[in-house]
Structure 1
Amino acid sequence: MIITGDDVDSISDLKTSHHHTFEMKDLGSLSYFLSLEVISTDDGIYLSQAKYVLDLLTRVGITDSRTEYAPLKHNFRFTPMDGTVFDNPTIYRQLIGGLVYLTVTRPDVAYLVHVLSQFLSAPPTTHYAAVLRILHIFHFSAHSFLSLQVYSYADWAGDPIDRCSTTGYYLFLGSSLIFCRSKKQTFTARSSTEAYYRTFADTTAEVVLIRWLFENLGAPQSFPTDVLCDNCSAIQIFHNDVFMNAPNTLKLIVTLFVNVYLLMLFAS
Structure 2
Amino acid sequence: MLHQSSSDHSLFYKTDANSSFTVIFIYVDDLILAGNDINEIDSIKLKLDQTFTIKDLGELQYFLGLELASSNEGIFLSQRRFVLELLQDTGYLASKPASTPLDPPLKLSKDKGVPLENPQLYRKLIGCLQYLITTCLDLIFVTQQLNQYMSDPRDTHL
Q: What SS does the corresponding residue of 1:3 show, helix, strand or coil?
A: strand
Deviates more, 1:86-95 or 1:57-66: 86-95
What percentage of residue pairs aligned between the two structures are identical? 37
C-alpha deviation, 1:18, in angstroms? 1.5
Answer 1 or 2: higher relative contact order, Cα 8 Å, separation at least 6: 1
C-alpha deviation, 1:53, in angstroms? 1.6
Unpaired runs of at least 5, structure 1: 129-268
Q: What SS does the corresponding residue of 2:125 show, helix, strand or coil?
A: helix
Change (3 A) 1:62 1:72: closer
Choose between structure 1 and 2: higher helix proportion.
1
Q: What one-letter code is carried by the residue in structure 1 that aligns with 2:97? A: T
TM-score, normalisation: structure 2:
0.63
Q: What one-letter code is carried by the residue in structure 1 that aligns with 2:154? A: P
C-alpha deviation, 1:69, in angstroms? 3.5
2:130 to 100, 113, 121: 100
C-alpha deviation, 1:80, in angstroms? 2.6
Unpaired runs of at least 5, structure 2: 1-30
C-alpha deviation, 1:28, in angstroms? 0.6
Correspondence for 1:207: none
Q: Quote the Cα distance in structure 2 between the aligned partners of 1:63 and 1:45.
A: 28
- Give the alignment's Cα RMSD to 1 decimal: 2.7
Report Cα offsets for 1:111-157 as digits up to 9, x if no partner: 431321111313352x33xxxxxxxxxxxxxxxxxxxxxxxxxxxxx
Change (3 A) 1:43 1:84: same
Report Cα offsets for 1:13-58 as digits up to 9, x if no partner: 2212222222101111000112221122344322122222222222
C-alpha deviation, 1:61, in angstroms? 1.8
Q: What one-letter code is carried by the residue in structure 2 that aligns with 1:32? A: Y
Correspondence for 2:87: 57
Q: What SS does the corresponding residue of 2:69 show, helix, strand or coil?
A: strand
User: Is structure 2 residue 42 aligned with structure 1 residue 15?
Assistant: no
